[in-house]
Amino acid sequence: MRVAQWIDACSAAEIEVEDVLRFDHDGRTYAIYRSPDDRFYATEGLCTHEQVHLADGLVMDHIIECPKHNGRFDYTTGQAKGAPVCIGLRTYPIRIDEGRVLIDVGIE
């Protein structure tokens, strides 16, 4: 059973529209996205191909592209979108509360 664990990650204003921010918590790294239609999303922070921080990559529409080998993911679903990545990203629930970005890093 999964137990929700909501963590205050950052201020919503810290992330620009169509951009990404790295968030580290409890030995894990996450990537938090703000989409062009001003919604927030969160995924695990490292590329599934070579463990590179995705937050250094480029966000275009709903795609995050890894800064090292250009693996691409749909950050709204975590789905891998082509070579060289084949494994998708884990995604995390996210909500905005009084201007703060909270993500649920839940424990299994």
Partner 1 sequence: MVIVGAGEAGTRAALSLRQNGWPGAITLIGQEDLPPYERPPLSKTALTCATPTAPKTIATAEGFAADKITYLPGTTVCEIDRIHHRVALLPTQREFHYDRLLLTTGASARKLALESHNGAGVHYLRTFADALRIRAELSPGKRILVIGGGFIGLEIAASARTVGAEVTVVEMAPRVLGRGVPQNLAKLIHQCHAEQGVPIFEGIGVTRFEPAGPQTRAYLSNGVTVDCDAIVAGVGAVPNTALAERAGVVTENGIRVDACLRTSDPDIFAAGDCCSFPHVLYGNRRIRLEAWRNAQTQGQHAAASLLGADTAYSAVPSFWSDHYDRTLLICGFTDEPNTTTVERNLGGVNIQFHLASDGRLLGASAFGPNEVIARDMRLAELLIERCASPGGDRLADPAVKLKSLLRAG
| Ramachandran assignment for 38, one of left (phi > 0), alpha (psi -120 to 50 degrees), beta (any other) | left
List the one residue from 84, 88, 104, 106 that touches partner 1 (CB under 8 A). Answer: 84
Q: Which stretch binds partner 1 (CB under 8 A): 26-34, 37-45, 67-75, 87-95?
A: 67-75
List the one residue from 7, 10, 12, 58 that touches partner 1 (CB under 8 A). Answer: 58
Task: State CA 22 to chain mean position distance.
Answer: 8
List the one residue from 65, 92, 94, 102 that touches partner 1 (CB under 8 A). Answer: 65
Would you say 105 and 42 are in contact if contact means Cβ atoms under 8 Å apart?
no
Q: 95 to each of 1, 11, 16, 50, 104, how far by Cα in Å?
A: 21, 11, 16, 29, 9
Interaction pattern, residues 8-47, with partner 1; x per rule: CB under 8 A: ----------x-----------------------------
By the criterion CB under 8 A, which residues form the site for partner 1?
18, 53, 56-58, 65, 67-70, 83-84
